[in-house]
Amino acid sequence: MMVNHDTRSTPTNHRGNPKLPIVFATGNPNKIREVNDLLAGQFEVQGLADIGCQLDLPETSPTIPGNALQKARFVYENFGVDCFSEDTGLEIEALGGEPGVLSARYAGEGKNSEDNMNLVLRNMAGEANRKARFYTVIALILDGEEHLFEGIAEGTIRNEKSGTDGFGYDPIFQPDGFGVTFAELSKAEKNAISHRGKAVRKLIDYLASLNH
């Protein structure tokens, strides 16, 4: 059964002990570091290596929520552990929502961030409408029950890269209300307003609710 983040069901394995290990189903070290920064030791999160998973997780869904669920289901069904997975897309209004679900491989299967950003900048050359957003979905599976948590960060696409922190499209994305890109913000500043930060905080709130 799948429920959204507003549902407060209580899976049995984590009742009274939400700090039992949960696997973050990703091989992206940048995402792992960012989520661990957000969790700040509140919960024990393991990576795929901790459960001996060296496989490429499937990401064939045409939607971001679908990809997040697909990866979490693969780990839960094949390794039998509670887990959560995340999928994020950069959605640019003038490009009809691209790169969207293909954000990681926009410029090819090499998943090269520089190539991806360069392609976005080329496609946006001369475009007046720079509006964009990052959209994150976290899919959590606890005791076979599925939960989705969303996070959105609105902003604009800069005309050129700026900043050296962050990863992915951060050097070309300027969040609303700021005069700098995600890559120019500190970790704490970015985590406070980012799409992933918002989704992770919903995940934390849900896990914490299991102890009440």
**Spatial distance between the Cα atoms of 194 and 152, rounded to a whole number of angstroms:** 7
Q: CB within 8 A of 202, min separation 6: which ones?
A: 5, 138, 149, 150, 151
Residue type at position 128: A
* List 6, 87, 143, 165, catalytic entry: 87
Quick check: helix, strand or coil at residue 77?
helix
User: Number of helices (H) and strands (E), helices first, in the chain?
Assistant: 5, 7
Among 149, 155, 145, 138, smallest CA distance to 194 is for 155
In angstroms, the Cα distances linking 39 to 2, 13, 71, 94, 191 are 24, 20, 21, 35, 11
Element (H, E) at 198: helix 195-209
115 is catalytic: no
Active-site residues: which are they? 87
